[in-house]
Structure 1
């Protein structure tokens, strides 16, 4: 998205297979950008082996190990897709008496636009800033250790950016022609493991 991280009322760390999200949340907390951090995510088939007790639980533990005070962290442990991440996070915050005006969404680098589009649809009154670990593609693949997984998920995320507005899950986003061409080329090359109907099925 090209957003600059800034001071916000609350940060929401979106669960996934990437523990770097939790580490980046911890770094942004130490930088003084927020005082309340919420991790959201239960499990999906792709993360059950990585985080058997749930994404948000493991992310919280990692952030605490990196210096974030336990009392600064809220946990939403049920969400199984991005839409639920947003809806359930709102509920957890409301239950804690927190009604933020601005939120920092922290997620995987290639997920920023989908997270943004989903939030604009499901939480339209909030001011949204997106953040992710500032790594080039090759560096990011090295941190994950599985190039096929990363590209599969990148391709799947773009498909969802294109398709989900039609299903009412997200707001429309402009997708340049060269991005569509790259997407088609990658699908033809076999990077289809995260496409709708070919693996993960959820928003």
Structure 2
């Protein structure tokens, strides 16, 4: 049973992870690979709304996606976007990245090779990965404007979509830990964490929501 306090803390962390950017026209969209097809849906919606003329889907596989997407996350995203009406000519696939840093660097290399001029990127991720994606992209691709986007979900709706509240809170906690430790390792720019969010994180750790934490010497 997850306590009322734990849910309140999780909501604080959830809200912090979202950048609350307003979508606007960008040079292209980059959809970060994961288990969550809503990333591809959001990218397709942005294309059809005229916000971007091109989409890059990036991602190989992880232990959590291999069974669901045997051909890779980016390939599965492309297939989903095609079903939603995005033309094949508007999609590039980057099938090798296995973490957020590689999502950015490999997508950048792909676009440079393709001769695509990039001044701004609609950066699409799972809702609770917005801030991590933003901080990583700003570190690894300076000079480009990043606008974050994800499926418009509140925490209860996201929990329902996953079907495991404890796992979702574990993921929120793990994502926040990385925001704290990865800037020190050069993987992302520093993000200020409000005191109430940090206190919520610490309470959740004490309550055992720690399965997605990494040892502090583990690299990204």
TM-score between both structures, scaled by the size of structure 2 = 0.88
Is structure 2 residue 168 aligned with structure 1 residue 153? no
Bigger drift between 98-107 and 186-195 goes to: 186-195
Once the two structures are TM-superposed, the CA of residue 14 in structure 1 deviates from its matched residue by 0.3
Quote the RMSD (CA, aligned, Å).
1.3
Which residues of structure 1 form unaligned runs of 5+?
A: none
Counterpart Cα distance in 2 of 1:125 and 1:154: 29
Counterpart Cα distance in 2 of 1:38 and 1:9: 11
Counterpart Cα distance in 1 of 2:30 and 2:219: 20
Is structure 2 residue 61 aligned with structure 1 residue 40? no
Is structure 2 residue 123 aligned with structure 1 residue 105? yes
Matches within 5 A, 1:1-203: 1-197=19-215, 203=220
Highest CA radius of gyration, 1 or 2?
Answer: 2
Bigger drift between 184-193 and 158-167 goes to: 184-193
1:81/1:202 contact within 8 Å kept: no
Once the two structures are TM-superposed, the CA of residue 141 in structure 1 deviates from its matched residue by 1.3
Bigger drift between 179-188 and 109-118 goes to: 179-188
Once the two structures are TM-superposed, the CA of residue 71 in structure 1 deviates from its matched residue by 1.1
Once the two structures are TM-superposed, the CA of residue 110 in structure 1 deviates from its matched residue by 0.7
Deviations 1:130-164 (A, max 9, x none): 00111110011112222222211111110011110
Once the two structures are TM-superposed, the CA of residue 202 in structure 1 deviates from its matched residue by 5.6
Counterpart Cα distance in 1 of 2:219 and 2:60: 13
Q: Which has the higher contact order (CA 8 A, sep 6+)?
A: 2
- Aligned positions, number: 201
Counterpart Cα distance in 2 of 1:26 and 1:14: 13
Counterpart Cα distance in 2 of 1:54 and 1:41: 7
Deviations 1:20-76 (A, max 9, x none): 111111111111100100000001122212212111010111111111111100000
Counterpart Cα distance in 2 of 1:178 and 1:50: 37
1:55/1:77 contact within 8 Å kept: yes
